[in-house]
Amino acid sequence: MTGICYEITKQLLLHGCTAAIICGRRESFLQKASATLSSLTGKVCLYKVCDVRDPNACKDVVDYAVKQFGRVDILVNGAAGNFLAEAKNLSPKGFKTVMEIDAMGTYNMSHATYHAMAKNAGGQGGVIINITMTLHYGATWYQAHASAAKSAIDSLTRTLALEWGCDGIRVNGIAPGPIENTPGTTKLAPGFTKDDVEEMIAERIPLGRLGTGFDIAMAAVFLSSDGSGSFVSGDTLVVDGAEWLFKPPM
């Protein structure tokens, strides 16, 4: 687990969470991240290797969390695969792979977590946060796969909020804009240096800068909180410095 989800975990642990479990496909990354997060926050941060495309692996993560901590209160669905590809050159397997990591992964983890959250005492339920993007609000070149997947997740956010509200489960999304030091802004603009890419992107962000992991993490803290976010469900909060609304002056 890297980038945005790393920062979200850190801030949730610094803002009231007692423990966390992080997941991803690469054990070496998870090992390092969980050790750093534990020492930075003074809280328990465990890890479990999980490919969110596998429903059984998702169920194993939730069982592990319940075994370790007795309950699950917050789920952040942030797994994403992405690359630039013109739709006419994108293979069906390439499209399917991104749909499976992003959309199926979000469904698999949410589905696996539902019963644990619904069982929380006193109808307390829990909070699910789905990380998407703004690519599909209009249309984005070379992102047919990721746009379709994120659009599906936004739809899932609304449906699960509708169906699981009676169990005390709030389901929301966060749609980050370009975030500094993440693959979304570097790997996806081949041929340019990181600084050049970030400078070009900042020019079309009304707030004049790229977002940070902290910006997204604080949105997650807001949506997870029983105080500030407790009546928000079925919404996707755009945290992008107004990037997707950008139009040059007339």
Under the criterion CB under 6 A, does residue 93 sit at the interface with ligand HXC? yes
Under the criterion CB under 6 A, does residue 202 sit at the interface with ligand HXC? no
Q: Which of 55, 168, 183, 234 binds ligand HXC (CB under 6 A)?
A: 183
Q: To the nearest whole angstrom, how small is the minimum distance from the Cβ of residue 53 to ligand HXC?
A: 8
Of 12, 246, 7, the residue nearest 134 (C-alpha): 246
Of 6-14, 26-34, 70-78, 82-90, the segment contacting ligand HXC by CB under 6 A is 82-90
Residue 166 amino acid letter: C
Question: Which run of H or E residues covers position 46?
Answer: strand 44-49
Q: Which is nearer to ligand HXC, 188 or 202 (CB)?
A: 188
Under the criterion CB under 6 A, does residue 99 sit at the interface with ligand HXC? no
**What are the tokens at 156?**
């899932």
The alpha helices in 77-204, defined as continuous H runs, are 92-98, 105-118, 144-164, 194-202
Distance separating alpha carbons of residues 47 and 70, to the nearest angstrom = 16
C-alpha torsion 179→183→189→190, nearest 10: 150
Under the criterion CB under 6 A, does residue 225 sit at the interface with ligand HXC? no
Q: Which of 26, 71, 115, 187 binds ligand HXC (CB under 6 A)?
A: 187
Task: Tell me the residue nearest to ligand HXC as measured from the CB.
Answer: 81
- The answer to whether the beta carbons of residues 74 and 109 sit under 8 Å apart is no
Q: CB burial class (10 A; 0-12, 13-18, 19+) of residue 126?
A: buried
Q: Which is nearer to ligand HXC, 188 or 221 (CB)?
A: 188
Of 81-89, 107-115, 118-126, 235-243, the segment contacting ligand HXC by CB under 6 A is 81-89
Q: How many chain residues touch ligand HXC (CB under 6 A)? A: 18
Of 5-13, 15-23, 93-101, 103-111, the segment contacting ligand HXC by CB under 6 A is 93-101
Q: Which of 17, 61, 146, 175 binds ligand HXC (CB under 6 A)?
A: 146
| Residue 38 CA: distances (Å) to CA of 46, 65, 70, 232 | 8, 16, 19, 30
Q: Which residues bind ligand HXC (CB under 6 A)?
A: 80-83, 85, 91, 93-94, 97-98, 101, 133, 143, 146, 183-184, 187-188
